[in-house]
């Protein structure tokens, strides 16, 4: 099938809410797996990551999925992990698993695939949207995962949350941001809806894989970049090529790192292995949030105390403007097609419901414990 035909067909399929797709990742490719199961031989799968191999958080998440599957299956299903670029480039993992070149993809965000369908962006995160805790609540108990599965079905993929970064940082800037005007004319790496929002206020938003960001900042191809948070950002050494580190990550308040599995490959497994694969992703989802929560603060201290990085908060009026623009951008996306509307209404409806509880529980507690932000003499 031609690439364009595939995308058109898949896009229309997603719009129509159908699960049928012909022509990609066919059964024949899974015949060896089924045979291997019956004869008790080991099934070998490939996992392609959008992150460099063993990269903190994102890369170890891929390793965790592979390890859990290997351990829980008693070695019956063996998963080999390929880092970004080893088997396919980061931005080709979706198509690679769709056509069963690899059976699992991991390590990026569903928002990488907005060219396939705009609604993909909602399943990573929404600016000023759900926190990690709320995102997991929406996905597993609020109808989010069902919508995500419906969206990926025409691409021959079964999505699962495979990690969560928690609240990210606002990014690295070579210019101080004192007002909205300081954002105008910036060229910034920022994918997803955050990029859409910044485009409206005069930023040129681009997406680049993480491994290319250091060079792009160093040679001035971009003036600013968001990646994740201190644990990952320190590993890439962005403090060597960018001046200011901004908080908060208004654009990614709790990003789901996705896993996706080739549907025929998954269907071709015996039921116990199928459950193991899906639950290994679920375990990795919880693990990653714990890992980020445990590691980010130590890396932040290193950036502050060893490298003297100036950490800044975006001014309140900048955040207010970005929040208003976010609502406009999301309304426009929802208005463009019926499936995006369904996802939008589901997520935003959930946010409206959960907000009251979060404010009286997490927020009220954190203010009681730590005080209001900026009251402890930090340099942010
Ligand atoms: Ca990010």
Instruction: For residue 17, report the distance from its CA to the centre of ligand 1, in Å.
Output: 29
Q: Which residues contact 342 (CB under 8 A, 6 or more apart)?
A: 147
Does residue 27 surpass a pLDDT of 90? no
Peptide bond into 61 cis (omega under 30): no
Residue reference for tokens 């063996």: 78
pLDDT at 171: 98
> What pTM, to 2 d.p., does this model score?
0.85
CA of 348 to the centre of ligand 1 (A): 21
Q: What is the mean pLDDT of residues 349-353?
A: 97
111 C-alpha to ligand 1 centroid (Å): 10
The string of pLDDT tens digits covering residues 354-367 is 999 999 999 999 99
Ligand 1 centroid–CA 253 distance in Å is: 9
Q: How far is the CA of 168 from the centre of ligand 1 (A)?
A: 6
Q: What's the pLDDT band for 40 if we cut at 50, 70, 90? A: confident
Question: Measuring CA to CA, which residue among 73, 76, 72 is closest to residue 37?
Answer: 76
Whether 380 has a pLDDT exceeding 90, the answer reads: no
3-state secondary structure of 206: strand
Distance between Cα 190 and ligand 1 center (Å): 7
Residue 4 scores a pLDDT above 80: no
Using 50, 70 and 90 to split pLDDT, how confident is the model at 374? low
- What percentage of the chain carries pLDDT values higher than 70? 88
- What pLDDT is attached to residue 39? 60
pLDDT for residue 54: 87
Per-residue confidence band for 26, with pLDDT thresholds at 50, 70 and 90:
very low
On the question of pLDDT at 228 being above 90, the answer is yes
Least confident of 18-22, 73-77, 81-85: 18-22
Domain ranges of the chain: 10-165+254-293
Concatenating the DSSP letter of every residue in 239-286 gives GGT-SEEEE--TT-SSPEEEEEEEHHHHHTS-HHHHHHHHHHHHHHHH
The predicted-structure confidence for 235-294, as pLDDT tens digits, reads as follows 999 999 999 999 999 999 999 999 999 999 999 999 999 999 999 999 999 999 999 999
CATH number of 10-165+254-293: 3.40.190.170
pLDDT of residue 163: 97
Say how many Å lie between the CA of residue 22 and the centre of ligand 1.
34
Q: Is the pLDDT of residue 28 over 90?
A: no
Banded model confidence at residue 165, pLDDT cuts 50, 70, 90: very high
Q: From the CA of 379, how far away is ligand 1's center (Å)?
A: 23
Tell how far the Cα of 252 is from the centroid of ligand 1, in angstroms: 6
Dist. CA 220 → ligand 1 center (Å): 20
Distance 76 CA to ligand 1 centre (A): 35
Give the distance (Å) from ligand 1 centre to CA of residue 227: 4
What pLDDT does residue 193 have? 92
116 within 8 A of 10, measured Cβ to Cβ? yes
Cα 287 to ligand 1 centroid, rounded to whole Å: 18
CA 192 / ligand 1 centre spacing (Å)? 9
Q: 187 C-alpha to center of ligand 1: Å?
A: 16
């Amino acid at each position: 099938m031609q690439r364009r035909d595939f995308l058109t067909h898949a896009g229309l399929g997603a719009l129509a809410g159908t699960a049928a797709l012909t022509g990609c990742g066919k059964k024949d490719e899974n015949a060896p797996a089924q045979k291997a199961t019956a004869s008790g031989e080991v099934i070998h799968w490939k996992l392609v990551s959008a992150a460099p191999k063993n990269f903190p958080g994102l890369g170890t998440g891929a390793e965790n999925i592979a390890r859990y599957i290997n351990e829980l299956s008693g070695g019956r299903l063996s998963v080999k992990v390929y880092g970004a670029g080893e088997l396919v480039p980061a931005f080709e993992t979706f198509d690679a698993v769709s056509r069963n070149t690899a059976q699992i993809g991991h390590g990026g965000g569903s928002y990488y695939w907005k060219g396939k369908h705009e609604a993909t962006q909602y399943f990573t995160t929404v600016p000023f949207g759900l926190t990690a805790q709320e995102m997991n609540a929406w996905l597993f108990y609020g109808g989010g995962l069902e919508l995500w599965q419906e969206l990926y079905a025409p691409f021959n993929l079964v999505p699962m949350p495979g990690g969560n970064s928690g609240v990210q940082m606002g990014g690295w800037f070579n210019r101080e941001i004192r007002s909205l005007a300081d954002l105008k004319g910036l060229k910034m790496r920022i994918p997803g809806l955050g990029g859409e929002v910044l485009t409206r206020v005069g930023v040129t938003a681009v997406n680049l894989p993480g491994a290319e960001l250091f060079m792009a900042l160093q040679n001035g191809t971009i003036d600013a970049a968001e990646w994740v948070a201190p644990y990952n950002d320190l590993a890439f050494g962005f403090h060597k090529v960018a001046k200011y580190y901004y908080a908060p990550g208004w654009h990614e308040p709790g990003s789901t790192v996705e896993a996706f599995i080739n549907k025929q490959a998954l269907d071709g497994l015996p039921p116990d292995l199928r459950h193991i694969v899906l639950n290994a992703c679920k375990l990795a989802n919880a693990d990653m949030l714990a890992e980020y929560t445990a590691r980010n603060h130590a890396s932040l201290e290193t950036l502050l105390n060893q490298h003297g990085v100036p950490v800044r908060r975006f001014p309140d009026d900048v955040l207010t403007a970005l929040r208003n623009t976010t609502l406009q951008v999301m309304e426009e996306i929802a208005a463009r097609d019926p499936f995006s509307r369904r996802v939008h209404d589901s997520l935003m409806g959930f946010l409206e419901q959960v907000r009251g509880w979060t404010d009286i529980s997490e927020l009220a507690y954190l203010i009681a414990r730590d005080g209001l932000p900026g009251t402890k003499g930090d340099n942010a």
